[in-house]
Structure 1
């Protein structure tokens, strides 16, 4: 392959007035690098110098072809002009990478030109490597000559540093917890990439207690570390934005709105300027607030209450929701245009019951956090720890409150531990407390679930049938079809039957309550 070098004429250095070394002629003085063609860009004002340099190169290296390319610049320090003309030059050049290997000489030209060369090369508009030359040192005879390849994958040490930094960012998003759940780790890696490279809204979905608030705070800190933001994190609990003060809390209020001294408010959107606005429980916003908020998100401008003039605030958005926003959009309680704006990057956090292999790591984390908060060292007796972990990781333990339940449970054990030791008896008592609380909550959930499909008849269903029907509803809503739900519900008895029409069995059961697949799976979320 032939080496082709493209570069600017050095209007000062190539004259050789300040030192004997001339950067452009020096390109052909290196035995390890043969220049087959040199494309020398120059302004018409320096035409004589360009021809002089051409002759010097041809005398030193007769096999090097020197082509003079006139590129006139009104202002070589104007970034827009220099980049535009170099871009046009690159578009019209006709690179042949199968026959020629291209290089860009960075040493000559203004700093603006050097930046433009770098940008065009890094973006592959010019498929080239960079050459940096320099005069020989005081005790050196050979001029400096370095080839820089912008393909960073070739630099193993650099790649390892980037990989290590990426791991550190992922660990930061996980709160330093060594998680082993593969889907969750993949999710965190993806969030790290998005938070580091995008300013678009991030939507965090998941059941209550899955850690959306903590993750939003960690995403904010990551953005702060990556210098994508400068402002603060403003946490807005959208469930509290009700009543006449809701708009004033978000958008601010002028004294003229009420006429009372001291009623001025800057508003949460102004406080988030340059930072992140975390809209927690965004599914609880009323339609009017959704509309005004969408305009502020898209334009960065809004009217405080009582003001005739818009104010501006630029912020990034993280939103959290417990419910299915698409279902809310379908029933008209959530604006589809707001969902489209929030749904650029959407991530669903898994429940604790789906991350059982991470329970032990989270137990270590919660113990350390309790020690910091309580100021005392706390630990489990060996048999107590094993018993608690067996209970926590048991498939029958559903953790309906997810990590919120888990954290509260560990904190109770740490607070009540005599002399900092958690005993087996304490664990037994805590497990009993959790089961009783969950049983009461489940009873209420069961009634609510049956009432969601039988709004006028739930009270008329016997408690025994109510529990059974609730389980059928849950299974149907977690299944892709009536047949799939039937296979799950009749997994034991179907093996003992001659005919296995699970869908028909389930359909007949639902008919007893005047229900069908459509009614059962049409959730009002």
Structure 2
């Protein structure tokens, strides 16, 4: 394996590195000393400085050229006004890191923290731990018995945060920014969703293992996968592309060819070589939506590609390599697919390490309003016109959106389409009560086939569910009420969905309504559960 070139990034020491007379060679100067170690060659030194220190930088550059002509010195003047101001230093280093062309495949980066003010050293630590500098910390020091020409010692520091608890606390802001980025800045209010995004942010930064996103169509799986990619890209953890594929679109020979590529003549119509999406995703992120739609043969090949980073193109005799991170999405219960034999158990085990279920819009009613504001702002930015609701119109739309009438079958796609239509029809950028009335009527018509034809729950056989003995001990009132509740449950997509329908009036008087918990406790009084009701329907 070819050894990577060593690149050191560090500040010139305005005190430690100074010296103009011949006696300067009798002193230990950390920046120059780094290039005097016989066992280690610094290919390039990115020398950072601020203020008017060009003369010192030129002197250090010349001295390094004398002792290590193979080392290239590249000076960078940063716009730091006050090297003791945390915001000033961190902002300048952040801008430098974002614009620097890191090449982690061929170069190894050492971040020198011996020179510079204490604030500079702390910021260099923070930037490295957050992967804005994709390297390791380097600390140098003079030998205890300093002699002329002795370069001293140096050490690479492991960033074990358990040893740096006080400094690690400074990362809370970075972590919060990462979470906000994954949510596109939308101030979501659903506690379960927020907790899930918080964990996904930590996993995305610390792990390259596959991530599986489950949830209904339109819940935002593809959107979240792209945000994860952009977050990792910003931290220099991925160098390649974001490659997305809906596996439901694959058929026949095209499935293997699209994923793994083919060689010329592999099958009828294969007129030339094709690299395939797995190779296109090399060093990047591959998002396979609806992965449950893949055939068993493609599943086996994908498993090999995930575990060994190599695979055979269709019709090929030689394996190719691709190092990508996998994210997958599905609206199926893959564990049931495994039991039924439609999904490989070994592949499921491999991609099931980090699994998250994205709730649909109906399960996150408290997030409808912040998403409404986000979509309006997005429409305004895209079309160059500010669009807003009248107060009455906004109140009317929110009442409908939170009611049992709003099925949100397409989840966030339905909400996005509704906002686009209303905003397009808004004269002078004002969405009126009449526009909202038309839109709610349109949505009801779109969803009408998903509702019970009569609008009433189907007949429930309570005796089959509870048994004759329990029925005999129930009052008619309780039996009739339980029948209605079970009917609503069977017509609902989730426990939360059923709870919102059943407690639509009373939930408004509660500070923190938990419809699912109320319904769960009600069913438990009769020895029933949500899962059991679905199984008996």
TM-score, scaled relative to structure 2: 0.59
Number of aligned residue pairs: give it: 357
Q: In the alignment, what sits opposite 2:435?
A: 426
SS state of the match for residue 114, structure 1?
Answer: strand
Hey, what's the Cα distance between the residues in 1 that align with 2:151 and 2:288?
44
Q: In the alignment, what sits opposite 1:278?
A: 287
SS state of the match for residue 177, structure 1?
Answer: coil
Hey, what's the Cα distance between the residues in 2 that align with 1:477 and 1:381?
33
SS state of the match for residue 255, structure 1?
Answer: coil
Instruction: Tell me if structure 1 keeps the 8 A contact 2:210–2:327.
Output: yes
Q: In the alignment, what sits opposite 2:252?
A: 243
Instruction: Tell me if structure 2 keeps the 8 A contact 1:374–1:415.
Output: no
Unaligned runs of 5+ in 2: 1-22, 31-138, 145-149, 460-483, 497-515
Q: How far is the alpha carbon of 1:398 from its aligned partner?
A: 3.5
Deviations 1:263-291 (A, max 9, x none): 32111111001101101011111212111
* Structure-2 change in CA distance of 1:396 and 1:310 (3 Å): same
Instruction: Tell me if structure 2 keeps the 8 A contact 1:179–1:358.
Output: yes
Hey, what's the Cα distance between the residues in 2 that align with 1:436 and 1:112?
78
Q: In the alignment, what sits opposite 2:143?
A: 108
Give the root-mean-square deviation of aligned CA atoms. Answer: 3.9
Instruction: Tell me if structure 2 keeps the 8 A contact 1:273–1:315.
Output: yes
Q: In the alignment, what sits opposite 2:372?
A: 363
SS state of the match for residue 180, structure 1?
Answer: coil
SS state of the match for residue 243, structure 2?
Answer: strand
| Corresponding residue to 1:159 among 154, 169, 174 | 169
Instruction: Tell me if structure 1 keeps the 8 A contact 2:240–2:283.
Output: yes
Q: How far is the alpha carbon of 1:305 from its aligned partner?
A: 1.4
Residue 203 (str. 1) matches residue 189 (str. 2): no
* Structure-2 change in CA distance of 1:310 and 1:522 (3 Å): farther
Q: In the alignment, what sits opposite 2:99?
A: none
Deviations 1:25-73 (A, max 9, x none): xxxxxxxxxxxxxxxxxxxxxxxxxxxxxxxxxxxxxxxxxxxxxxxxx
Hey, what's the Cα distance between the residues in 2 that align with 1:179 and 1:299?
39
Residue 382 (str. 1) matches residue 391 (str. 2): yes
Hey, what's the Cα distance between the residues in 2 that align with 1:473 and 1:22?
77
Q: In the alignment, what sits opposite 1:230?
A: 239
| Corresponding residue to 2:224 among 206, 215, 232 | 215
Deviations 1:135-174 (A, max 9, x none): xxxxxxxxxxxxxxx843334xx733x2111111111100
Q: In the alignment, what sits opposite 2:262?
A: 253
Q: How far is the alpha carbon of 1:361 from its aligned partner?
A: 1.2
| Corresponding residue to 1:327 among 302, 324, 336 | 336
SS state of the match for residue 266, structure 2?
Answer: helix
Deviations 1:295-337 (A, max 9, x none): 1111111111121111111100010111111111111111111
Q: How far is the alpha carbon of 1:394 from its aligned partner?
A: 2.9
Unaligned runs of 5+ in 1: 1-15, 24-103, 125-149, 451-466, 480-484, 495-499, 508-516
Hey, what's the Cα distance between the residues in 2 that align with 1:184 and 1:477?
16
Q: How far is the alpha carbon of 1:478 from its aligned partner?
A: 4.9
SS state of the match for residue 256, structure 1?
Answer: coil
Hey, what's the Cα distance between the residues in 1 that align with 2:180 and 2:350?
28
Q: How far is the alpha carbon of 1:377 from its aligned partner?
A: 2.5
SS state of the match for residue 200, structure 1?
Answer: coil
Instruction: Tell me if structure 2 keeps the 8 A contact 1:353–1:395.
Output: no
SS state of the match for residue 397, structure 2?
Answer: helix
Hey, what's the Cα distance between the residues in 2 that align with 1:355 and 1:421?
27
Q: How far is the alpha carbon of 1:414 from its aligned partner?
A: 0.9
SS state of the match for residue 154, structure 2?
Answer: helix
* Structure-2 change in CA distance of 1:330 and 1:192 (3 Å): same
Q: In the alignment, what sits opposite 2:354?
A: 345
Q: How far is the alpha carbon of 1:519 from its aligned partner?
A: 9.7
Q: In the alignment, what sits opposite 2:535?
A: 521
Instruction: Tell me if structure 1 keeps the 8 A contact 2:142–2:151.
Output: no
Greater shift, 195-204 or 376-385, is seen at 376-385
* Structure-2 change in CA distance of 1:163 and 1:256 (3 Å): same
Instruction: Tell me if structure 1 keeps the 8 A contact 2:397–2:436.
Output: yes
Q: In the alignment, what sits opposite 2:124?
A: none
Q: In the alignment, what sits opposite 2:197?
A: 188
Q: In the alignment, what sits opposite 2:84?
A: none
**Which protein has the larger Cα radius of gyration, Structure 1 or Structure 2?**
1
Instruction: Tell me if structure 1 keeps the 8 A contact 2:495–2:519.
Output: no
Alignment of 1:336-485 (within 5 A): 336-394=345-403, 396-443=405-452, 471=488, 473=490, 478=495
Q: In the alignment, what sits opposite 1:27?
A: none
Q: How far is the alpha carbon of 1:107 from its aligned partner?
A: 3.7
Greater shift, 277-286 or 372-381, is seen at 372-381
SS state of the match for residue 333, structure 1?
Answer: coil
* Structure-2 change in CA distance of 1:469 and 1:181 (3 Å): closer
Residue 174 (str. 1) matches residue 186 (str. 2): no
* Structure-2 change in CA distance of 1:304 and 1:22 (3 Å): closer
